[in-house]
Chain A
Amino acid sequence: MSTEAPPSDAEKPQLSPLMVKVNARLAPLILEHREFRGDDRIHVARENILAVAGVLRDDPELAFDLLLDVTAIDYYGQPDDFELRREVWDRDHVTMRRLPRRRNLMALPEKGPHPRFAVVYHLISTSHLHRLRIKCRVPEDDPRIASLTPVWPGANWLERETWDLYGIRFEGHPDLRRIYLYDEFEGHPLRKDYGKLDEQPIQAYVGPGAKEPRRPE
């Protein structure tokens, strides 16, 4: 997807020691690298996530033995952060304000031209004490990615959470059920197109204080 190295990397020849090691082993699989306030982040194609994860865990120089978190980002209606966001971000730091805060009162913006979701992995090595983030873009019409439970068993509940709230399917997960919400819940509430105020009560509202559940407008 991304073919040339980002310009900021060329201007910054000094990569962190961690990134030197990561590049030495995984350079062909890394689409992009960013550093933000001392933390490294790599973008990886979703087809390669299992291979990358295996190397990161098993290589003795990297030894990422702890998967700290799995979550996702919904870039609904936002310009892709591979290319467009960089200029705006460098110019000022207010680009995150594009989405209207109160969705129910305002029309949604046009959908962005790029894969809508990003799955984010936070890794830590407890022996080397370094950390790394991985981002994988996942398109809206096919929100699937390989499960990392074979590599880190702790990914089990984290991926269930991401499925529950963002609707990303993790292929090969042993038990991909909702973990926070109830089975009757429809949709995935942390997606930007889920109305913030939409209720789906499973206990009927009764008695003197009963009200109509809030529904999508």
Chain B
Amino acid sequence: MMSGAVGRQALVDEGNAFPEAFATTRLADAINWARKYSFFSYPFVTACCGMEYFSVNGPRYDTDRFGAALPRFTPRQADLLWVVGTITQRQAPILRRVYEQMAEPKWVVSFGACTSSGGPYDNYAVLQGIDRIIPVHVYIPGCPPRPEAVLDGLIKLQERVQHERPGTRWAGLDLHGSGRKLG
């Protein structure tokens, strides 16, 4: 009885705490805030890094905490492209086409050493970094990356999305994930 009365009183107090409450923000900030917690992933998995990607998407490391767990089965429904593994010259047009199929706004994560720079495969067959054919927003180093590195990359991407301004195609590509200027 007693506790019920207290609880009711608390509700009344809370309702009075912010009379005629409202919050102000910029529309861009609100939109970016919504976007950064609602990534729809498209994993483009070609090599051994894929194992690490599956593991980090599983329950133990749980990218769902960041709103980035649900993979889509077509790039047309996705806005976050995970490029995971070695990309050969022969695969490059396919990756480019997958990227072009995604609707704006869209982001690209380069997962692992091979994807970012060709890794150990410095030869005629392997593309020396996917940033030669598509823009990349976050590079995650490692061979393969630790799950902590992947989560760190995801958080950096969120920070970066928060700082983006709509209307520019490769917005903020000269920025770190933290929003600082490169270089």
Contacts and interface: CB of A to CB of B under 8 A. Distances in A.
If over half of A's interface residues share one DSSP class (helix, strand or loop), that class is named, otherwise mixed; here it is: loop
B90 interface: yes
A196 B92 CA distance: 19
If over half of B's interface residues share one DSSP class (helix, strand or loop), that class is named, otherwise mixed; here it is: loop
A201 B125 contact: no
A211 interface: yes
A206 B90 CA distance: 16
A208 B131 contact: yes
Given A208-B170, A210-B132, A202 B125 contact: no
Contact of A208 (B96, B122, B125, B173): B173
Given A198-B124, A199-B124, A207 B89 contact: no
Which bracket fits the contact residues of B? 20 to 34
Nearest to A204: B133
A181 B131 contact: no
B132 A181 contact: no
B135 interface: yes
B124 A197 contact: yes
B123 interface: yes
Nearest to B89: A201
Contact of A209 (B90, B93, B123, B136): B136
Contacts of A204: 133
Nearest to B95: A203
B127 interface: yes
A209 B124 contact: no
Contacts of B133: 203-207
B100 to A, nearest CB: 11
A32 to B, nearest CB: 34
A182 interface: yes
A182 B131 CA distance: 21
Nearest to A205: B132
Interface of A: 180-182, 189, 194-211
Interface of B: 89-90, 92-93, 95-96, 122-125, 127-129, 131-136, 170, 173
